[in-house]
Amino acid sequence: MTNGSTRLLWTGALLLAAGWIAAAPTDRYEELTGEQDDFDAVQPEWHEQRGPVPPLPAETAWQPVRLDDLPQGQQAAIDLGSLSVGSDGVVRFWLQVRSRGGARMIQYAGVHCGRGERVTYAWGHPGRKPPVKLVGRPRWRPLSARAMDAWWRELADDVLCSGEVARTPRQIGQAARGRYEQMNPWDNFTNDD
């Protein structure tokens, strides 16, 4: 064999080895199954699961929530008794925003943490008959950081959600009171190799 053909043989062997390395399994799934196709998790299509709107809460039921992004002179409160986290991932609750002058807006709302959206299901009008007026076609709107709606984003981020996942009603109650649970990121760690 000549020097040139030896070099060609080694070059071919290196290229074959490089191809094998590139095709080697990159994760445990590929290693166990031998499949090397791209593995994409399929997210099921989201379907909202609406339920009945709870009655308007009593005046003593409101839990104040500190929201720095509310316009000056306004105070927010939620009714912890109406608070629910549905299997569709939506946190539903009665919300009240009151101004210093006594005017107030009451709504039964929903927030989907993973989708970053909010909706109003009903408006509350104490003293009127009926005290609850359902929204004909509730529309989901994005939680934005625009000046007018920044307090919605703050409510979702600081009270209702933990990232893209809804907090439990107990955690939401604690967050509304200004107390937060310390989270250990290794609590759910498992090694299933």
Q: What is the pLDDT of residues 21-63, one digit of tens each?
A: 555 555 666 666 666 655 556 667 878 888 899 999 999 999 9
Question: Where is 166: in which H helix or E strand?
Answer: strand 165-166
pLDDT digits (tens, 9 = 90+) for 92-101: 999 999 999 8
- Residue type at 183 in one-letter notation: M
Give Cβ neighbours of residue 89 (< 8 Å, ≥ 6 apart): 46, 112, 113, 114, 115, 165, 166
| The model scores a pTM over 0.85 | no
Q: What is residue 43's predicted lDDT score, i.e. its pLDDT?
A: 65
Q: Are residues 158 and 64 in the same domain?
A: yes
pLDDT of 81 over the 70 cut:
yes
In a domain, 186, yes or no: no
Q: Are residues 90 and 15 in the same domain?
A: no
Q: What is residue 108's predicted lDDT score, i.e. its pLDDT?
A: 97
Q: Are residues 68 and 161 in the same domain?
A: yes
How far is residue 88's CA from residue 85's CA, in Å, rounded to a whole number? 8
Place of tokens 């997210």: 43
Percent of the chain with pLDDT over 90: 50
Taking the CB of residue 113, how many other CB atoms lie within 10 A of it? 21
For residue 59, what are its two tokens?
Answer: 């005046």
Q: Are residues 21 and 106 in the same domain?
A: no
Q: What angle do CA 143, 76, 121 make, to 5 degrees?
A: 55
* Mean pLDDT, residues 125-132: 91
CATH code of residue 95: 2.40.128
Considering the chain, what is the average pLDDT of its residues?
A: 81
For residue 164, what are its two tokens?
Answer: 């893209």
Q: What is residue 116's predicted lDDT score, i.e. its pLDDT?
A: 93
pLDDT of 131 over the 50 cut:
yes
How far is residue 159's CA from residue 166's CA, in Å, rounded to a whole number? 9
Q: What is residue 17's predicted lDDT score, i.e. its pLDDT?
A: 52
Q: Are residues 77 and 158 in the same domain?
A: yes
Q: What is residue 46's predicted lDDT score, i.e. its pLDDT?
A: 78
Report which of residues 118 and 28 the model is more confident about: 118
Cα 104 to Cα 17, 53, 113, 175, distances in angstroms: 72, 19, 26, 23
Confirm if 107 and 120 have CB atoms less than 8 A apart: yes
Q: What is residue 117's predicted lDDT score, i.e. its pLDDT?
A: 94
Residue 14 structural domain = 9-33
For residue 133, what are its two tokens?
Answer: 């007026």
